[in-house]
Amino acid sequence: MTTWCSAPSLTADQRLEVLDLFNRTESELGREAIDEGRRRTVVHRGAGEHWLDLEDDHVRRYALLTPGEPAGIEMCGGGVDPRLLEAVLDRHGVVDWWTRGDHDTAGGTVVRTLQLLRVALPVRVEHDVALPGEVRTFDPDHDAHRWLAQNNAAFADHPEQGAWSERQLDERLSEPWFDPSGFFLFEVDGRLAASCWTKVHELHPDRFGEIYVIAVHPDFRGRGLGRMMVLHGLNALRHKGVTSATLFVDESNTAARALYESLGFSLDREDRLVRFAAH
């Protein structure tokens, strides 16, 4: 019988076993085993409620719960385990659970759907207009505060993206994958109007690119800057030798989805946030 237990932190051995589990799961699935932020929590020994399915004191399965109203949880691999769900609801009463890809929502209520879109490179569009100015790359020493202000304004109502701190940005800038040559800024009259942060998944067998963050300051919306910055990012990825690119978008963001579809993006996967409540 599966027995899940929770801990406020991982031992050194458990941390290594969980990271090994992530790597093995990603090799099996061909995609990320768990959300990037949760992986970072394990890597950097961050705070969280760690749920472990142990066999002979070794980690067989893993999930991470983060506090909130309600709390949020994701299991390595993206599924829902009934026994873990029961144990979590006994403690929290209500929980939002991320399922990745084609997983049974187990009778919960879907409260959010995140779409993974993909496009082949190069992208060719007709009658496109170039940016009305020069695009430059991000300088961590001089642009961090300005970019955070622009990003947080652009995503003021977004549950994950809208309130980044300096620490959260610094963690990403310190990741092995960070490459400032793929982080683009566009200014209008000395103000940071738009940005496009790209990422190359160098260790994935397919070596694909990603539009990691695309943001337009609210004061500069309606000028087509989002479309032009996405195209700039896709062209930069193509020049780095990748043949496809991805991005995530909320299913409810119809304007963004229409933009991406006009550039040739198509649906690759849907992830669902499912709310469960104790009876």
- Domain membership of residue 277 (yes or no) is no
**Is residue 44 domain-shared with residue 69, that is, in the same domain?**
yes
Which residue, of 61, 84, 107, is where some domain finishes? 107
pLDDT average, residue stretch 154-173 = 86
Structurally, the chain folds into a number of domains equal to 2
Give the alpha-carbon dihedral of 60, 51, 35, 144, to 10 degrees. -130
Which residue, of 107, 142, 163, is where some domain finishes? 107
**Is residue 102 domain-shared with residue 124, that is, in the same domain?**
no
**Euclidean distance between CA atoms 58 and 34, whole angstroms:** 19
Locate all alpha helices (DSSP H) within 93-192, ordered by sequence. 140-154, 166-173
pTM over 0.75: yes
CATH code: domain of residue 204 = 3.40.630.30
**Is residue 71 domain-shared with residue 138, that is, in the same domain?**
no
Question: Do 239 and 126 meet the contact criterion of CB atoms below 8 Å apart?
Answer: no
pLDDT digits (tens, 9 = 90+) for 96-152: 999 998 777 778 999 999 999 999 999 988 777 777 888 999 999 999 999 999 999
- Domain membership of residue 146 (yes or no) is yes
**Is residue 198 domain-shared with residue 127, that is, in the same domain?**
yes
**Is residue 78 domain-shared with residue 141, that is, in the same domain?**
no
pLDDT digits (tens, 9 = 90+) for 52-100: 999 988 999 999 999 888 999 999 999 999 999 999 999 999 999 999 9
- Domain membership of residue 276 (yes or no) is no
Question: Do 186 and 226 meet the contact criterion of CB atoms below 8 Å apart?
Answer: no
3-state secondary structure of 180: helix
**Is residue 164 domain-shared with residue 254, that is, in the same domain?**
yes
- Residues with Cβ within 8 Å of residue 238, at least 6 apart in sequence: 121, 122, 123, 209
Token readout for 192 is 């940071």
- Domain membership of residue 112 (yes or no) is no
Q: What is residue 129's predicted lDDT score, i.e. its pLDDT?
A: 72
**Is residue 139 domain-shared with residue 265, that is, in the same domain?**
yes
**Is residue 150 domain-shared with residue 236, that is, in the same domain?**
yes
**Is residue 130 domain-shared with residue 263, that is, in the same domain?**
yes
- Domain membership of residue 23 (yes or no) is yes
- Tokens 């309606």 sit at which residue? 222
Reported in sequence order, the residue ranges of 101-208 that DSSP labels E, i.e. its strands, are 109-120, 135-137, 183-188, 191-200
Look up the domain containing 211 and give its range: 118-270
**Is residue 31 domain-shared with residue 138, that is, in the same domain?**
no
Phi-psi region of 256 (alpha: psi -120 to 50; beta: other; left: phi over 0): alpha
The residue with greater pLDDT, 106 or 227, is: 227
**Euclidean distance between CA atoms 52 and 7, whole angstroms:** 8
DSSP 132: S
Q: What is residue 1's predicted lDDT score, i.e. its pLDDT?
A: 55
- Domain membership of residue 161 (yes or no) is yes
- Domain membership of residue 35 (yes or no) is yes
Give the alpha-carbon dihedral of 239, 242, 244, 247, to 10 degrees. -80
Does the pLDDT at position 2 exceed 70? no
**Is residue 151 domain-shared with residue 94, that is, in the same domain?**
no
- φ and ψ of 80, to 5 deg: -125, 125
Which residue, of 52, 75, 107, is where some domain finishes? 107
**Is residue 91 domain-shared with residue 135, that is, in the same domain?**
no
